[in-house]
Structure 1
Amino acid sequence: MKISKIINNNLVHFYDENNVDCIAMGRGLGFGKKIGDEFGAMMVEKVYRIEDPIRTKQFSTLVKDIPLAHLEVANMIIDYAKSSLNTKLSDNIYISLVDHIDFALERIEQGIPFENKLLYEIKHYYTSEYLVGLEALNIVERELKIKLPEDEAGYIAIHLVEAEVDCTKPNYVQDVMNIIQSVMNIIKYHFSLELNPDTLAYERLLVHLRYFAGRVINQEQASICDDKFVARMKNNFPEETECTEKIRKYLKQNYDYDVSDDELIYLSVHIHRVLMSHKK
């Protein structure tokens, strides 16, 4: 492998066998080297193959001045997240999370902690990502002997969620949580019911709302039911349908989103299951 560009003593650019611009990381990999020099695979700890050339350039610029130890810890966290969440993460995670970890460590060293005002909601609505965030704190403490506050687990979870949906819209996660909370409140007050988060029906509703809220924010529609099925389901679930009509009105007023009949039917089914779980 030949060096095409030197980022710093530990990071270099090279082109792989498919002529894709990659970044290799390894201690001393770029030290004393010049463009065109060869380097062996034994020296490489990590290879970044970021498909988008713009993101590759952003990552190259970002990591130029980041301590290698911080980058190594971020890699461990990303690898753990990929295996634990069992889902594809956008290449942007290498930019957003590496930057966040480095900044968080810098703030702690300066004695400037950040409070995460969304921590409760993140724990509740993005439990899997939050648990990865907690393990990320353990990784940082084990590798760097620095203890980050629990708030940082919430911030890490936000970056993971955004990478799961490959979304770079500002405040995406906060907007999703606001929609979920608002929909839950509409259901709660319509039926005068305290929702039980420990039931399977509630968990299924929450998962559905996460994806539904994403479609609202991205102004996307799901259309998978025929008219006869829609009419039959509305007839079977009249009270649930009345509740979802309130949800439709709320989303139109606040997000200028037209909820399709298909979406309302699936919401009605999930709401019905939640209601049935409370009767058991």
Structure 2
Amino acid sequence: MKVLKVFNNSVVLGVDDSGTELVLLGRGVGFQAKPGDVVDDALVERTFVPDGSTTAERIAAFVQEIPRADIETTEEIVREARRVLGDHVTDHILVPLADHVSFALRREREGATQIDYPLRWEVENLYPNEVAFSREALAIIERRTGVRLPAIEAVPLALHFVNAQFGSAADLDVTMRMTEVLTETLAIICTEYDVQIDERSPVVARFVTHLRYLFRREQQGRQLPAVADSLHEAVRAAQPREYACGQQIADLLGQRFGWDVGAEEVIYLTLHVARLTATALAEAGERADG
């Protein structure tokens, strides 16, 4: 591996034999180094790989500003998140997550006013697994730093873990927009059927999971396998109201993200709407009987 650029004595931009640029962190790794020099691997403590959503230069700028102790704390959080939430939590989220953790710690130490994050209710109800783990992450931060961050910090942390599902090119702003659309989607169903939906119910969790993977497929340019026209017509004939609601959701996604949501996806949305409304109507009946 060779040096491309020296940022300071501890951070350099390197390039490996395949031409991949890497940000290298380590005490003395940049000391007296010049572009073209061979990197002393023994001095490299951490390697950061640009992921397509940001540049090596930007990663290097982050790494220079984040205290090493905060990076180490975040590394433990990412390892534990991978164990609890799944392998989709990769090291690609390390730098943006460390940047957020470091910023939150600095604000708390300075006694700054607590931030009231938007979408708090939505995040807590739509992503319960990520929020639950983020509360564990706050405990890890307190154990390692002695600083107890406000409980609301579980909300932005959870968004980072949700974002990890969408791969290296994901943007946190897109994940927030997705969260808003998920809420709008449930509101469409509630309005159409005049029902209340328990956002923490298992049937909602399955629906949200389906929509999250729909977002992932659209980002990757993949489509569901085609279905026969006869099946499509059979679903529409058997469940016309649910189908119309599914089409409304597909139209909303098209408006918000410019997607062409196909007939195959509308069928799946129809089936989810049927399950959601059947559950909500049954619960409403039980409340009326009680």
TM-score band, normalised by the shorter chain? Answer: 0.7 to 0.9
Task: Find the aligned partners of 1:99 and 1:191 in 2 and give their Cα distance.
Answer: 44
RMSD: 3.4
Give the 5 Å matches for 1:41-52.
41=42, 44-50=44-50, 52=52
Task: Find the aligned partners of 2:191 and 2:28 in 1 and give their Cα distance.
Answer: 61
Partner of 2:226: 224
Could you tell me how far 1:117 is from its partner in structure 2? Answer: 2.8
1:240 aligns with 2:239: no
Task: Find the aligned partners of 2:156 and 2:185 in 1 and give their Cα distance.
Answer: 24
1:208 aligns with 2:206: no
Q: Verify the 8 A CA contact 2:13 2:22 in the aligned structure 1.
A: yes
Partner of 1:134: 135
Could you tell me how far 1:231 is from its partner in structure 2? Answer: 0.3
Q: Verify the 8 A CA contact 1:29 1:39 in the aligned structure 2.
A: no
Give the 5 Å matches for 1:56-205.
56-89=56-89, 92-112=92-112, 113-166=114-167, 167-169=169-171, 171-197=173-199, 199-205=201-207
| TM, length-normalised to structure 2 | 0.78
Task: Find the aligned partners of 2:65 and 2:204 in 1 and give their Cα distance.
Answer: 46
1:177 maps to a residue whose letter is T
Residues 197 and 38 (structure 1), Cα distance of their counterparts in 2 relative to 1, 3 Å cut:
closer
**Ranges in structure 2 where 5+ consecutive residues have no aligned partner:** 284-290
Report the secondary structure of 1:165's partner residue.
coil
Could you tell me how far 1:51 is from its partner in structure 2? Answer: 5.5
- Superposed CA offset, 1:31-78 (max 9, x none): 85645486464x654333345596222111221132111121222222
Task: Find the aligned partners of 1:137 and 1:72 in 2 and give their Cα distance.
Answer: 14
Name which of structure 1's ranges 48-57 and 142-151 shifts more when overlaid on structure 2. 48-57
Task: Find the aligned partners of 1:123 and 1:16 in 2 and give their Cα distance.
Answer: 42
Residues 242 and 168 (structure 1), Cα distance of their counterparts in 2 relative to 1, 3 Å cut:
closer
Report the secondary structure of 2:79's partner residue.
helix
Could you tell me how far 1:145 is from its partner in structure 2? Answer: 0.9
Task: Find the aligned partners of 1:30 and 1:255 in 2 and give their Cα distance.
Answer: 44
Residues 121 and 94 (structure 1), Cα distance of their counterparts in 2 relative to 1, 3 Å cut:
same
Q: Verify the 8 A CA contact 1:7 1:30 in the aligned structure 2.
A: no
2:180 maps to a residue whose letter is N
Task: Find the aligned partners of 1:203 and 1:214 in 2 and give their Cα distance.
Answer: 16
Report the secondary structure of 2:123's partner residue.
helix
Name which of structure 1's ranges 184-193 and 215-224 shifts more when overlaid on structure 2. 215-224
| TM, length-normalised to structure 1 | 0.80
Report the secondary structure of 2:65's partner residue.
coil
Count of aligned positions: 278
Task: Find the aligned partners of 2:211 and 2:32 in 1 and give their Cα distance.
Answer: 52
Residues 110 and 133 (structure 1), Cα distance of their counterparts in 2 relative to 1, 3 Å cut:
same
**Ranges in structure 1 where 5+ consecutive residues have no aligned partner:** none
Task: Find the aligned partners of 2:58 and 2:68 in 1 and give their Cα distance.
Answer: 17
- Superposed CA offset, 1:235-268 (max 9, x none): 2222312332443555566666554322221111
Task: Find the aligned partners of 1:54 and 1:187 in 2 and give their Cα distance.
Answer: 37
Residues 56 and 256 (structure 1), Cα distance of their counterparts in 2 relative to 1, 3 Å cut:
closer
Report the secondary structure of 1:22's partner residue.
strand
Task: Find the aligned partners of 1:223 and 1:178 in 2 and give their Cα distance.
Answer: 27
Report the secondary structure of 1:64's partner residue.
helix
Identical residues among aligned pairs (%): 26
- Superposed CA offset, 1:116-146 (max 9, x none): 1322211111222222322221121111111
Q: Verify the 8 A CA contact 2:97 2:160 in the aligned structure 1.
A: yes
